[in-house]
Amino acid sequence: MSENPFVDDEEAEQNIQEFIEEHGNEGLFVVYFRQFIFSFIMQELKSSDDEINDIGTQLHLSADGDQFLKDQREQMLERCEHWAQDLVDHLKEDDVVSEVIESGDISRLEDDDIEERVHQSIHEKFGEWETLLETFLEDLE
């Protein structure tokens, strides 16, 4: 994959194909849900009730804030990928959603029936992860 963050459509398509060849269609869904979970965690951090409620501000005010922020982000992404894989494994148990994952067609997540099935699975998993999420968020703050 290209190291250049600014790629044209052709190179972007090539990067996607290389990713699929290496990680399969399931890998696309793991990345998709990793980002979803990561966004959820970031929103939870930003909505904290601390005196300084912006986690970026909190981290930059600490010693070695920039490196700490980078390390925390990497830890968060790693943990989110673990949870995303768990979610995708759970989604694959649903025959309809499993077909979507096998096809690699992320746009089908917008179909009403599939969206409801995914929403229900996310709700179930977040329920399972509730204590883990709370502990993880407390460790980050």
pLDDT in tens, 77-128: 899 999 999 999 999 999 999 999 999 888 999 999 999 999 999 999 998 9
DSSP code per residue over the chain: --S-S---HHHHHHHHHHHHHHHHHHHHHHHHHHHHHHHHHHHHHHT--SSS--HHHHHHTSTTHHHHHHHHHHHHHHHHHHHHHHHHHHHTTSHHHHHHHHHT-GGGGGSHHHHHHHHHHHHHHHHHHHHHHHHHHHHH-
- Alpha-carbon distance of 141 to 139, in angstroms, equals 6
Percent of the chain with pLDDT over 90: 40
> What pLDDT score does 67 carry?
66
